[in-house]
Amino acid sequence: MLEELQFTVNHQSCSVTCHPGTSLLSLLRQLGWFGVHRVCETGDCGACTVWVNDTPVHSCIYPAMRIANESVTTIEGLSSDGELAPIQQAFLQAQGFQCGFCTPGMIMSAAKIPELLQEELRFTLKGNLCRCTGYQAIQESIVNSQQSIVNSQQSSVNSHHSVGENIPKQDGVAIVTGKASYTGDISPPGLLHLKVVRSPHPHARIRKIHTETAKAIPGVVAIFTHEDVPRIAYTTAGHAEPVPDPLDHYLLDNKVRFVGDRVAAVVAESPAIAEQACQLITVDYEILPHVIDPIQAMNDCGVVIHDELESSQIYDRDRNIAGHIFQETGNLAQAFAEADLIVKNTYYLPAVQHVHLEPHITISWLEPDGTLVVRSSTQVPFHCQTLLAKLFNLPKEKIRVYKAQLGGGFGNKQEILSEDLCVLATLRTGKPVQWEFSRKEEFTATNSRHAMTIHLKSGVKKDGLLIAQDMTIIANTGAYGNHGQTVVFLSGYIPLGLYRCPNKRLQAFAVYTNTMPAGAFRGYGATQGTFAMESQIDEIAKQLNIDPIEMRLKNVIQPGDIINLGKSEDHFNLIGSYAVSECWEKVKQLLGYLPGTPAKVEGSRRCGVGFAISMQGSGLSKIHLAKVKLSRLPNNKYELRTGSVDVGTGSDTTLRQIAAEILGVTVADINIISGDTQQTPFDAGSYASATVYISGQAVKLAAEKLLTTNENSVEISYTADESTLTFAVQGVEVEIDIETGKTQILKCVQAIDLGKAINPRICHGQVTGGIAMGIGYALMEKLLFDKQGTIINPKLRDYRIPTAADIPSIEVILVEQSDPYGPFGAKGVGEITTNCTAPAIANAIAHATGCRLYQLPMTPERVFQELKIKHFT
């Protein structure tokens, strides 16, 4: 029953009718206050914070009926007369945001925080989550606002020297005022909503789906099952053609392969009606045996997850192996026989989730001329367009895919997950349709980082020289094989390639199980492999009584080296610039590290230091294509069109800086249009740390070409012949309480050999954000599965990501040594920043306590167990 409600929002009187169960969040968004963001809807993230009579509340769990005759303020009401409030100004100046999806809620909470010491501030901010920034810039913003400090490090968009300057992100004002328009922040007339019935079984064949009762509900417009859609095998991975992934996924299938798999799609006039209809659909399943352990899955378990013959590009379907890698160099058996020391371990890495705060969301509609428009939160609009053309047999020119403001992706939006069924619904109903994933769906029906078991065996001479390394990786790729083969390749190739060892072997398997699929995630497998390698290198150094940094410097690849694993033509990375020694020096200096210093003991507390090094390529050479168009406008202004996507990192700003520098104008003179298949030329998309390195080089070449021509416009098409390597070195100091197992990070330093920082503050933000994600991976994050493969912690309350209280002060050193291949000497920085954190912490724990952990996350319980085993058995 609808009820009358009167109140004020941002000083405007409002009178509405609403259902008693409506949340304040839903009501405010229905009224067009889109600065109020929906993330968890359980009161756990703070993104929806507004004030009711000056008191911050989580609007997602605040009943709308409680605001009768009250006054509500949202982020849009914070500034007055066009003047930003001091807290908005402070966030803008210190750039206390990246994607900005958390920012409105963060600002509404921060504005009410009393002046506090830094340490207290971290704890007070615990109710507001940010996945991008690592909280450093947010805390700086709040302190600056409270102490009226004006940030003097800001460079102006009107500066004539752009490269190397802290030019503010171009979307900053929109973000701090709540005006940034994310995918869900529009509501076309007649918008319908899509919801999906998901499988309660890990493995079953669908005999019959009963939809009659659901169809009879007023407001239900259409229901689709596998019987209503073409059966075309594809991959959800957004890769360039020909895609390397198994083609094993269907719009809707007659078989389900994990708890959460898609069964039927309901289209209705509201999300609530669609949800209600989903619950009334009944399905007759033939339950099949299932397997959730990849080692069982590949060893004659009697379950074949992809027995359908339409699927292809599967390495060994009978053994559930989606992808396999085998590469070998030298004579491993002989080298192990000659080794003075052999160390052999197994490392266990869990499945973890991206937790970008903006969910997967798509809105699609048909233009009067028949063009299909797809507005989507995607990292890969062009790959998405290609797939939709194939699935619906449409010419590409009749499909426009574009991205709005993105609220984070971290690889999970390199997957095409929400666009396909949304488009199906639009094509069949002729209406605009929105499909927005719930937080539970994000946790249970998108993708995770691949869980892996990594066996690593190293043979070494007495002086610390590595002579043999053998790595076997078994990765759980879940029910579908998207990214499986390529991720397991990088898991071994990156850490094995990092060291010069002449005899090495990599065997890797991406194995299907009846669990949620794994996919692309920042680091792309290198994160898991680096944990194994950097943990073992430390262990070898300890056994040989060699300083861990010296051990690494003795073996790490050097300029002129090639990656000596398998055939060189299989590899696409090389060393351009190289500042690894400088990175180590900086990290040692800032940590105050003296080789041989023993762990500190103070009561129940033990302090130790640990290190790790990693490398990562910049984009994919010869594959990753970027085209840009650069045009002159009147009044010495320019327009840059690029198909690349700013996922929230600030890449649009960086690309404008590159163009401005070459053209000799200011960044303000460059207007950018990005990520739109109709408005911009092709770009492979934003992944693999490619945007600045490849799209940025295309922009530079276009600007140079424009300077040499009288034409008004130039287009450049660019793929890199070389993918140069970025290196990162990290050191941490930790304190372990041996009575509780709790690990506290006291100091954290990362030096990154990034060639050139086009925008140092944006690069800095990438590093702190990547480290914060690494801390979550190291100490707290893990998807928990029951015996059916059901994820049992699909809420932010149960699956904890780091809060401000969990992140120490982080020191970042951007080591600049110009790279010969990247634009202005720049290399990729997006992914590598996450790789070193977990092994550096594991090594510090080992130094502090003598206990080495081979499994993540290193929770207090796990550390305590290890301490107990070591000291009391």
Write out the two tokens for 328. Answer: 């070998």
Nearest to ligand FES of 132, 388 (CB atom): 132
Instruction: In angstroms, give the least distance from the CB of 407 to ligand FES.
Output: 6
Alpha-carbon span 654 to 639, nearest angstrom: 15
Counting other chains too, the contacts that 715-719 makes at CB distance below 8 Å and 24 or more residues apart are 715/627, 715/628, 715/629, 715/630, 715/681, 716/627, 716/628, 716/630, 717/625, 717/626, 717/627, 717/681, 718/625, 718/626, 718/627, 718/628, 718/694, 719/621, 719/622, 719/623, 719/624, 719/625, 719/626, 719/694
DSSP structural state of residue 587: H
Alpha-carbon span 103 to 83, nearest angstrom: 18
Bridge partners for 210 per DSSP: 282
Nearest to ligand FES of 99, 580 (CB atom): 99
Instruction: In angstroms, give the least distance from the CB of 637 to ligand FES.
Output: 29
Instruction: In angstroms, give the least distance from the CB of 451 to ligand FES.
Output: 24
- What is the CA 576 to chain-centroid distance, rounded? 26
Nearest to ligand FES of 46, 478 (CB atom): 46
Instruction: In angstroms, give the least distance from the CB of 869 to ligand FES.
Output: 38
Instruction: In angstroms, give the least distance from the CB of 841 to ligand FES.
Output: 23
Nearest to ligand FES of 38, 201 (CB atom): 38
Instruction: In angstroms, give the least distance from the CB of 560 to ligand FES.
Output: 40
Alpha-carbon span 406 to 409, nearest angstrom: 8
Nearest to ligand FES of 128, 528 (CB atom): 128
Nearest to ligand FES of 180, 699 (CB atom): 180
Nearest to ligand FES of 25, 729 (CB atom): 25
Q: Residues 634, 637, 638, CA angle at the centre, nearest 5°?
A: 110
Instruction: In angstroms, give the least distance from the CB of 164 to ligand FES.
Output: 24
Residues that bind ligand FES (CB under 6 A): 38-41, 43-48, 58, 60, 97-103, 130-133, 357, 408, 648
Nearest to ligand FES of 182, 402 (CB atom): 182
The interaxial angle of helices 526-544 and 484-498, nearest 10 deg, is: 30
Determine how β-strand 262-268 pairs with β-strand 220-224: antiparallel
Write out the two tokens for 157. Answer: 């968009």
Nearest to ligand FES of 174, 217 (CB atom): 174
Alpha-carbon span 763 to 390, nearest angstrom: 38
Alpha-carbon span 257 to 549, nearest angstrom: 46
Instruction: In angstroms, give the least distance from the CB of 152 to ligand FES.
Output: 23
Alpha-carbon span 99 to 408, nearest angstrom: 6
Kindly report whether the peptide bond that precedes residue 857 is cis, defined as omega within 30 degrees of 0: yes
Alpha-carbon span 812 to 835, nearest angstrom: 15
Nearest to ligand FES of 36, 574 (CB atom): 36
Element (H, E) at 601: strand 600-602
Instruction: In angstroms, give the least distance from the CB of 760 to ligand FES.
Output: 18
Nearest to ligand FES of 39, 551 (CB atom): 39
Q: How far is CA 64 from CA 60, 418, 422, 439, 754, in A?
A: 9, 29, 29, 21, 49
DSSP 3-state assignment of 419?
helix
Q: How far is CA 17 from CA 7, 32, 752, in A?
A: 11, 15, 55
Assess contact for 537 and 610: CB atoms under 8 A. no
Nearest to ligand FES of 31, 599 (CB atom): 31
The contacts of residue 589 (CB under 8 Å, 6+ apart) are none
Write out the two tokens for 386. Answer: 């290609």
Closest CA to 684 of 723, 629, 724, 626: 626
Nearest to ligand FES of 357, 510 (CB atom): 357
Q: Residues 784, 790, 793, CA angle at the centre, nearest 5°?
A: 40
Bridge partners for 205 per DSSP: 255, 286
Bridge partners for 474 per DSSP: 453, 509
Alpha-carbon span 336 to 657, nearest angstrom: 51
Assess contact for 327 and 260: CB atoms under 8 A. no
Nearest to ligand FES of 97, 524 (CB atom): 97
Instruction: In angstroms, give the least distance from the CB of 36 to ligand FES.
Output: 9
Instruction: In angstroms, give the least distance from the CB of 851 to ligand FES.
Output: 34
Instruction: In angstroms, give the least distance from the CB of 773 to ligand FES.
Output: 11
Q: Residues 551, 813, 599, CA angle at the centre, nearest 5°?
A: 45
Instruction: In angstroms, give the least distance from the CB of 48 to ligand FES.
Output: 3
Nearest to ligand FES of 29, 747 (CB atom): 29
Instruction: In angstroms, give the least distance from the CB of 59 to ligand FES.
Output: 6
Instruction: In angstroms, give the least distance from the CB of 329 to ligand FES.
Output: 41
